[in-house]
Amino acid sequence: MDIDSIDRKIIDQLRMDGRRSFAVIGRNVGLSEASVRARYRRLSKAGIVQVVGMADAPKLGDIEVHVAIRVRGVTVASVAKQLVAIPEIKFVASAVGAYDLIVDLRCESVVHLSGILSERIRRVNGVHVVETLTVLEVMKDTYLWAGFREDSTPYTQQVIRRRTGAVAR
């Protein structure tokens, strides 16, 4: 699937603010609202972007754990497939490095966490080493920064535009 520079601009806008309207995004990237929506649908269906609400687990009283797993004897994909099915696991990716799989999970309590680790993850055939890091405090969790590309149209501009009714371009 091809992703052009306009697609990337749309993604950047959504990284900065997932609720920004397609009309505003269209103005910022120089496309009509309908086209932005069509592109978003395409990107969304392809699994390239998704707009989600992200919650700070510790602030909510939840427990977030980042797990690194080393696989032995079976394929990484077969282990991943079983982990994906566990609802508390929100992120699964294969990796190169000291471990083969990166898994993030979120749950209600240490009891719940313990159960998932010992009764679900460690029991998956092929899971050899499990390294667990429990999140204490999130210092930064942001997609606000658009990458190496410039944010030529900051959010404030959107607000000004609305207040004054002025229309650029």
Partner DNA sequence: GGTGAAAGGCCCTAGAG
Partner DNA sequence: CTCTAGGGCCTTTCACC
In the complex, the residues that contact DNA under the rule CB under 7 A are 6, 21-24, 31-35, 37-39, 42, 162, 165
Rounded to whole angstroms, the Cα distance separating 144 from 138 reads 15
116: left (phi over 0), alpha (psi -120 to 50) or beta: alpha
Nearest-CA neighbor of 45 among 86, 1, 13?
Answer: 1
Size of the site for a second copy (CB under 8 A): 66
**In whole angstroms, how close is the CB of 20 to DNA at the nearest point?**
8
Q: Is residue 92 within 8 Å of residue 102, measured between CB atoms?
A: yes
Stretch binding a second copy (CB under 8 A), from 28-36, 113-121, 128-136, 156-164: 128-136
**In whole angstroms, how close is the CB of 139 to a second copy at the nearest point?**
4
Q: By CB under 8 A, name the one of 34, 38, 133, 160 that touches a second copy.
A: 133
Contacts of residue 74, defined as CB under 8 A and 6 or more positions apart, other chains included, come to: 125, 126
Residue 142: which of DNA, a second copy, none does it interact with, CB under 5 to 8 A by kind?
Answer: a second copy
Residue 89: which of a second copy, DNA, none does it interact with, CB under 5 to 8 A by kind?
Answer: a second copy
Residue 113: which of a second copy, DNA, none does it interact with, CB under 5 to 8 A by kind?
Answer: none
Q: By CB under 8 A, name the one of 34, 72, 78, 108 that touches a second copy.
A: 108
Nearest-CA neighbor of 103 among 77, 140, 132?
Answer: 132
Rounded to whole angstroms, the Cα distance separating 50 from 11 reads 9
**In whole angstroms, how close is the CB of 35 to DNA at the nearest point?**
3
Residue 138 contacts a second copy per CB under 8 A: yes
Residue 130 contacts a second copy per CB under 8 A: no
Q: Is residue 126 within 8 Å of residue 71, measured between CB atoms?
A: yes
